[in-house]
Amino acid sequence: MLLLLSGCSSLQQSRFSGDIQNAAELYARGDFEDSLKANQNILALSEGKPPGDQALFNIGLIYASNRYSKKDYRKSMAFFQRVVKEYPRSQLVPQSKTWIGVLEVIEKSKQVDIEMERKKKKLVR
Protein backbone atom coordinates (compact mmCIF):
# COMPACT_ATOMS: atom_id res chain seq x y z
CA MET A 1 0.00 0.00 0.00
CA LEU A 2 2.82 2.41 0.86
CA LEU A 3 4.40 1.88 -2.56
CA LEU A 4 1.08 2.53 -4.24
CA LEU A 5 0.60 5.74 -2.33
CA SER A 6 4.09 7.00 -3.07
CA GLY A 7 4.37 6.19 -6.78
CA CYS A 8 5.31 8.97 -9.22
CA SER A 9 6.11 9.01 -12.92
CA SER A 10 6.29 12.48 -14.47
CA LEU A 11 8.35 15.61 -13.95
CA GLN A 12 5.33 17.29 -12.36
CA GLN A 13 5.10 14.38 -9.94
CA SER A 14 8.79 14.58 -9.08
CA ARG A 15 8.18 18.17 -7.98
CA PHE A 16 5.66 16.77 -5.52
CA SER A 17 7.49 13.54 -4.66
CA GLY A 18 8.34 14.68 -1.13
CA ASP A 19 4.73 15.68 -0.51
CA ILE A 20 3.44 12.38 -1.89
CA GLN A 21 5.92 10.46 0.25
CA ASN A 22 4.89 12.45 3.32
CA ALA A 23 1.20 11.72 2.66
CA ALA A 24 2.03 8.02 2.27
CA GLU A 25 3.96 7.95 5.53
CA LEU A 26 1.11 9.68 7.37
CA TYR A 27 -1.30 7.10 5.94
CA ALA A 28 0.97 4.22 6.96
CA ARG A 29 1.09 5.57 10.53
CA GLY A 30 -2.70 5.78 10.62
CA ASP A 31 -2.71 9.59 10.64
CA PHE A 32 -5.54 9.74 8.15
CA GLU A 33 -6.57 13.35 8.79
CA ASP A 34 -3.11 14.72 8.08
CA SER A 35 -2.67 12.39 5.11
CA LEU A 36 -6.01 13.61 3.79
CA LYS A 37 -4.90 17.25 4.18
CA ALA A 38 -1.57 16.54 2.48
CA ASN A 39 -3.29 14.86 -0.47
CA GLN A 40 -5.85 17.66 -0.75
CA ASN A 41 -2.98 20.16 -0.86
CA ILE A 42 -1.23 18.16 -3.61
CA LEU A 43 -4.51 18.02 -5.52
CA ALA A 44 -5.01 21.78 -5.27
CA LEU A 45 -1.45 22.58 -6.34
CA SER A 46 -1.30 20.06 -9.20
CA GLU A 47 -3.81 22.09 -11.24
CA GLY A 48 -5.44 19.14 -13.01
CA LYS A 49 -2.16 17.45 -13.86
CA PRO A 50 -0.31 14.53 -12.29
CA PRO A 51 0.14 13.91 -9.43
CA GLY A 52 -3.47 15.04 -8.98
CA ASP A 53 -4.50 11.55 -10.03
CA GLN A 54 -2.33 10.07 -7.28
CA ALA A 55 -3.78 12.48 -4.70
CA LEU A 56 -7.36 11.61 -5.72
CA PHE A 57 -6.55 7.92 -5.58
CA ASN A 58 -4.94 8.28 -2.16
CA ILE A 59 -7.98 10.15 -0.83
CA GLY A 60 -10.16 7.33 -2.16
CA LEU A 61 -8.01 4.83 -0.27
CA ILE A 62 -8.27 6.85 2.93
CA TYR A 63 -12.08 6.92 2.81
CA ALA A 64 -12.14 3.17 2.03
CA SER A 65 -9.85 2.22 4.92
CA ASN A 66 -11.39 0.16 7.71
CA ARG A 67 -8.92 1.83 10.10
CA TYR A 68 -10.26 5.33 9.32
CA SER A 69 -12.93 6.34 11.83
CA LYS A 70 -14.67 8.46 9.19
CA LYS A 71 -14.71 5.67 6.59
CA ASP A 72 -17.18 6.50 3.82
CA TYR A 73 -17.44 4.18 0.85
CA ARG A 74 -19.55 6.60 -1.17
CA LYS A 75 -16.98 9.37 -0.80
CA SER A 76 -14.26 6.88 -1.62
CA MET A 77 -16.08 5.83 -4.78
CA ALA A 78 -16.49 9.47 -5.81
CA PHE A 79 -12.74 10.04 -5.61
CA PHE A 80 -11.98 6.92 -7.62
CA GLN A 81 -14.56 8.02 -10.20
CA ARG A 82 -12.80 11.38 -10.43
CA VAL A 83 -9.52 9.59 -11.24
CA VAL A 84 -11.26 7.79 -14.12
CA LYS A 85 -13.02 10.91 -15.39
CA GLU A 86 -10.37 13.60 -14.86
CA TYR A 87 -7.28 11.50 -15.65
CA PRO A 88 -8.42 8.95 -18.26
CA ARG A 89 -4.80 8.17 -19.25
CA SER A 90 -3.59 7.66 -15.68
CA GLN A 91 -2.01 4.35 -14.76
CA LEU A 92 -4.33 4.45 -11.74
CA VAL A 93 -7.51 4.12 -13.84
CA PRO A 94 -7.62 0.29 -13.81
CA GLN A 95 -7.11 0.17 -10.03
CA SER A 96 -9.69 2.93 -9.55
CA LYS A 97 -12.23 0.98 -11.62
CA THR A 98 -11.54 -2.12 -9.52
CA TRP A 99 -12.10 -0.16 -6.32
CA ILE A 100 -15.32 1.32 -7.71
CA GLY A 101 -16.60 -2.19 -8.49
CA VAL A 102 -15.69 -3.53 -5.05
CA LEU A 103 -17.23 -0.57 -3.25
CA GLU A 104 -20.42 -0.81 -5.32
CA VAL A 105 -20.80 -4.46 -4.24
CA ILE A 106 -20.27 -3.48 -0.60
CA GLU A 107 -22.84 -0.67 -0.84
CA LYS A 108 -25.40 -2.95 -2.52
CA SER A 109 -24.80 -5.56 0.16
CA LYS A 110 -25.46 -2.97 2.86
CA GLN A 111 -28.74 -2.02 1.18
CA VAL A 112 -29.81 -5.68 1.05
CA ASP A 113 -29.01 -6.03 4.77
CA ILE A 114 -31.03 -2.91 5.58
CA GLU A 115 -33.97 -4.17 3.54
CA MET A 116 -33.84 -7.59 5.23
CA GLU A 117 -33.84 -5.95 8.69
CA ARG A 118 -36.82 -3.82 7.70
CA LYS A 119 -38.73 -6.90 6.54
CA LYS A 120 -37.86 -8.81 9.74
CA LYS A 121 -39.20 -5.98 11.87
CA LYS A 122 -42.36 -5.90 9.79
CA LEU A 123 -42.91 -9.65 10.33
CA VAL A 124 -42.40 -9.37 14.10
CA ARG A 125 -45.17 -6.77 14.44
For the purposes of burial, counting CB atoms within 10 Å of the CB of 108, is it exposed (0-12), middle (13-18) or buried (19 or more)?
Answer: exposed
Q: Higher pLDDT residue, 45 or 12?
A: 45
| pLDDT score for 1 | 53
| pTM of the entire predicted model | 0.83
Q: What is the pLDDT of residues 16-30, one digit of tens each?
A: 889 999 999 999 999
Per-residue confidence band for 36, with pLDDT thresholds at 50, 70 and 90: very high
Q: According to the model, what pLDDT value does residue 3 have?
A: 46
Give the residue numbers spanning the domain of 120.
2-124
CATH number of the domain to which 60 belongs: 1.25.40.10
Q: Please, is 93 exposed, middle or buried when counting C-beta atoms within 10 Å of its C-beta (0-12, 13-18, 19+)?
A: middle
Domain count, the chain: 1
CB 63 within 8 A of CB 82: no
- With b for 16 or more beta-carbon neighbours within 10 A and e for fewer, the 22-40 pattern comes to bbbbbbeeeebeebbebbe
